Chains A and B, each alone.
Chain A
């Protein structure tokens, strides 16, 4: 257990569906991240939230919409996805703005399949 949970763990959705991925961190961190991991590709950073403010959007298509209502929760809203969006979606958190380290802690991921 890393202190970061993700639900659901597996999701199959059609291209016309709307679904949401949820991430929750119990570590008291102030930054949260969404990553995409496709087969045979390095982990790709999608979004970063620091203190609930989005600080980075890595040219992600608008069919992915993040939401960070507070520093402990992060959502990724999905709509009209494409089959190539099938991947493992990982959430992470870290403590930013301290003199220690920005060590990232990851959740177990949501395996998304778009049919």
Chain B
């Protein structure tokens, strides 16, 4: 069985300040982990993925995430928030080795608000 918990339903930061979106996972086996972003009226877009290579993963738009097995965490960070980062973010776990979309389990999402 696998599951993912996003610890905050809403996060609000000021433009130019760091972003931290928290995610904990549960998996019986070595998982693949992802972060997706969903902007209003747009499809889900893959930000980054971890598939058992380097534990610090860099993604698009300046985002990165660190896989910490001991803490079963995969938190998403960005050094400096931009207004265009305002969106819904989903942490996702998969048992498929390459993260096939048939095995994706999504968290409930974190709504990121950027204050001007």
Same complex: no
List residues of chain B with CB under 8 Å of any chain A CB: none
